[in-house]
Amino acid sequence: MSDKPHVFDATTDTFETEVLQKSLTTPVLVDFWATWCGPCKSLTPILEKLAGEYNGAFELGKVDVDREQQIAAAFQIRSVPTVFLVKGGEIVDGFPGAMPEGQVREFLTQHGVLPAEPQVAEAAPVA
């Protein structure tokens, strides 16, 4: 279980509600990964960082392909990492393999997923 904001572990039991239902209102990036996967170890921290930085503009669902073989089979995952963007209950795009942070940002931007605006406290009116 992840303790990072906007990051969760997707399982067979939670996939429909945590990914498909949630994607009806918020895009969900689904990261198919494995503990033994070298490229996953470089991509996962980038995705987790962006999920926090984008502060709810998208949610990151992580699927451990060894533990969640049924989900991996349903999505025909042949290699890890593989990432899908789910919007409106459907996969709209994805990419195989690890990408540098700049390319992941570009991928998100192409699909209208933009970083959250920084919260700025409003100044009190001057009397």
**CA nearest neighbour of 111 among 83, 95, 92:** 92
Strand partners, 7: 60
Exposed / middle / buried, residue 77 (Cβ in 10 Å: 0-12, 13-18, 19+): buried
Q: Which listed residue (7, 10, 34, 40) is catalytic?
A: 40
Residue 73 vs residues 53, 77, 102, 122, 123: alpha-carbon distances, Å: 31, 6, 30, 50, 53
In this structure, what token pair is assigned to residue 75? 């999505």
Active-site residue 97, yes or no? no
The pTM for the full model equals 0.87
For the chain, list the domains and their CATH numbers. Answer: 7-106 (3.40.30.10)
Active-site residue 37, yes or no? yes
Q: Which listed residue (28, 29, 37, 43) is catalytic?
A: 37
Q: Are 56 and 6 spatial neighbours (Cβ–Cβ below 8 Å)?
A: yes
Which pLDDT tens digit goes with each residue over 25-42? 999 999 999 999 999 999
| pLDDT in single tens digits along all 127 residues of the chain | 457 789 999 999 999 999 999 999 999 999 999 999 999 999 999 999 999 999 999 999 999 999 999 999 999 999 999 999 999 999 999 999 999 999 999 999 999 999 877 555 455 555 5
Q: What angle do CA 108, 8, 26 make, to 5 degrees?
A: 45
